[in-house]
Amino acid sequence: MKQRPSGLNSEWLRPLGRIQRPEQIAFKSRWQGPLIKASSRQRGLLLCELCKVTYLYSSTTPFDEECLGFRNTSVIAEGHFLSARHENDSDIVLTFRASEPGDWVQFVAEQKMRWGEDEGLGRILYGLKRPCENLWGQWQSAFAADETRSVWFTGHSLGGAVALITANQCLISPLQVEPAEVHTFGMPRAGDRKYRNHSRVSHLRWVRDHDPVPHLPPAWSGWWHAGRETRLNVAGRELTLTRWERTMVLFEEIWRAMRGRKSRLWQLDEHTIDTYVDTLWEAVLREEEAARK
């Protein structure tokens, strides 16, 4: 019988097709200035587009091009995990990328069998502890002792879980650098209830409506989300759903798959980085239109 691919050891899947370099991307963010002065949606869009750039790296060589007012100064890799540093005069942004599971069902099964790893603050997804420790260990030595710029952590999908865990490691480290905020996009549940309760970083969790990955691993298996959720639909409108309504969204997609209909669940159309960029762009346009009225 052919062995199913391991959720954490599957090969990296490039989601951007023929795009190879940042100058090929038509960036949507128009924000200029310190990120702390931007609205949460403007920050989210810019950070999401920097996450998109992070998908382009095929090595640890930084790109020469300036992206959205940021210089890409360094890139580090740890196995199937990668992180890039983008900076300007007022901000430092650390973006994180993780190897996407080739089979999310297999990924959930692995987490249920192994029940994560003890990270100190609580239990986190199996396979993330050592990469997060090594990534932060390398970034920690790169910060100046008198660093005064705001430091932001961000990641898409499983990279969002890495960004959150690394930001918490930054917060409790001896280094006098405190994360300004963590922005994650389509992030799965990263830890247990104890980890959620002990996570002290400011964390904004962006979720696209009908994206199945934020429902994984299932809550009933002991995994919890940290941070404040902002759920957006295709038009960029913010949605407020109860836990029951969120569960029904997941079961609706499972039912569609069982009936043999085209399902958004297993095709993951709602989960791509481009989908999140487009959704946040719509949200920013709505915000700007409301401000003009």
> 166: which 2 tokens?
């690394």
Q: How many CB atoms lie within 10 A of CB 281?
A: 19
Residue 16 placed within a domain: no
- From the list 93, 56, 90, the residue with the least C-alpha distance to 73 is 93
**Is 23 part of a structural domain of the chain?**
no
Annotate 99-114 with DSSP letters as a single string.
PPPS-HHHHHHHHHHH
Q: Is residue 233 part of a domain?
A: yes
Look up the CATH number of the domain holding residue 148. Answer: 3.40.50.1820
Q: CB–CB of 63/22 below 8 Å?
A: yes
d(CA 134, CA 241): 37
For residue 232, what are the domain limits? 31-292
Rounded distance between C-alpha atoms, residue 76 and residue 248, angstroms: 40
pLDDT tens readout for residues 119-141: 677 888 888 888 898 999 999 88
Say what the pTM is: 0.85
In a domain, 125, yes or no: yes
pLDDT confidence bin for 276, thresholds 50/70/90: very high
* Residue corresponding to tokens 């987490």: 111
What's the pLDDT tens digit per position in 218-267? Answer: 887 788 899 999 999 888 888 876 767 666 766 666 666 556 555 444 45
Domain count, the chain: 1
Average pLDDT over residues 274-291: 93
Q: Which pLDDT score, from 0 to 100, does residue 180 have?
A: 94
**Of 207, 249, 247, nearest in space to 227 by CA:** 207
Helix (H) or strand (E) holding 72: strand 71-78
Kindly state whether residue 183 falls inside one of the protein's structural domains.
yes
Rounded Cα–Cα distance for residues 57 and 88 (Å):
20
Nearest to 102 by CA among 175, 182, 12: 12
CB 116 within 8 A of CB 19: no
Res 102: pLDDT = 59
Counting beta carbons within 10 angstroms of the beta carbon of residue 32, is it exposed (0 to 12), middle (13 to 18) or buried (19 or more)?
exposed
Reported as a single tens digit per residue, the pLDDT across 197-212 is: 888 899 999 999 888 8
Alpha-carbon distance of 83 to 85, in angstroms, equals 7
Whether residue 14 lies inside any domain: the answer is no
Any domain includes 11: no
DSSP-H helix ranges across 25-177: 40-54, 104-114, 129-140, 158-172
Cα distances (angstroms) measured from residue 28 to each of 155, 183, 186, 263: 18, 18, 19, 29
CA-only gyration radius of the chain, Å: 18
Q: Is residue 10 part of a domain?
A: no
